[in-house]
Amino acid sequence: MNIVFNHATVRERADMLTFLRLCSERGLHTVSIWGDEIAKVGEKDALSVLQDSGMTVSGYNRVGPLNACSYDSVEAELERAARFEADHVFLFTGGLRDNEKNLGSARRRIEDTIGKVLDSARKIGVKLAIEPLHPMVTGDRSVISTLSHANSICEALGPGIGVVVDVYHCWWDERLQAEIARAGDAGRLFGFHVNDWLIPTRHVLTDRGMMGDGIIDLRGIHSMMRRAGYDGAVEVEIFSTDWWARDPAEVMDIAIDRCVDLFSVD
């Protein structure tokens, strides 16, 4: 089984160079990285360590927020993702603008913006990924809240854009199985992110659970992905103040054990 770590899982106590070393020591072949973490250590050193380790990049986080950033910054992120040979680049839409209340208008504006970003991505040679976020963060983080909406955007825009399914954001959706199959039929399932939903959840952004500690049917969703034709990696992405406070190596070892237990025999 191919396991990938998103640097966000351990970045509070492991800079990018440390993160890459930890992944390499565990025999991992792929990583998911962040542009702001590259900037902290320097692109030259980050590329050097990545290349020396023989690892490749799956996801590049990220372009956006699209409701606020300049187009020059968008192109700069796309170009850096290309230099790191990322498989796909995440689109971060952002939420509503200040004093904005018309969600329909905000969504139409973001859809138009994604189309423009895709034009640049095609020229640069990178793919874009839409990751729907939980409806509770529509106001401040993403106006794309369902896999259905993301699929429709991809269908309208054509090649070069796909979706990433993060269980934390999609587990509640009654259309999840149908929309995963829809994305799979079109060949646009780019990634599968795992974590868990805790009861109670103390903070919707920074209280994700380790796989198996919450209520998400992780094996069931993984099976949906496989039936839809997804044969890619399981990516661990845990935003959690509790797990950030622990030793990064310990966090990664626990996560690997959980993934093997949950996903190797479904």
pLDDT tens profile 132-184: 999 999 999 999 999 999 999 999 999 999 999 999 999 999 999 999 999 99
pLDDT at res. 1? 80
% of the chain exceeding 90 in pLDDT:
98
The CATH homologous superfamily of the domain defined by 3-191:
Divalent-metal-dependent TIM barrel enzymes (3.20.20.150)
Average pLDDT over residues 189-199: 98
Domain ranges of the chain: 3-191
pLDDT > 50? residue 108: yes
Average pLDDT over residues 38-47: 98
Where does the pLDDT of residue 41 fall: very low under 50, low under 70, confident under 90, or very high at 90 and above? very high
pLDDT at res. 265? 58
Is the whole-model pTM more than 0.95? yes
| Three-class DSSP labels, the chain | CCEEEEHHHCCCCCCHHHHHHHHHHCCCCEEEEEHHHHHHHCHHHHHHHHHHHCCEEEEEEEECCCCCCCHHHHHHHHHHHHHCCCCEEEECCECCCCCCCCHHHHHHHHHHHHHHHHHHHHHHCCCEEECCCCHHHCCCCECCCCHHHHHHHHHHHCCCEEEEEEHHHHCCCCCHHHHHHHHHHCCCEEEEEECECCCCCCCCCCECECCCCCCCCHHHHHHHHHHCCCCCCEEECCCEHHHHCCCHHHHHHHHHHHHHHHHCCC
pLDDT at res. 190? 98
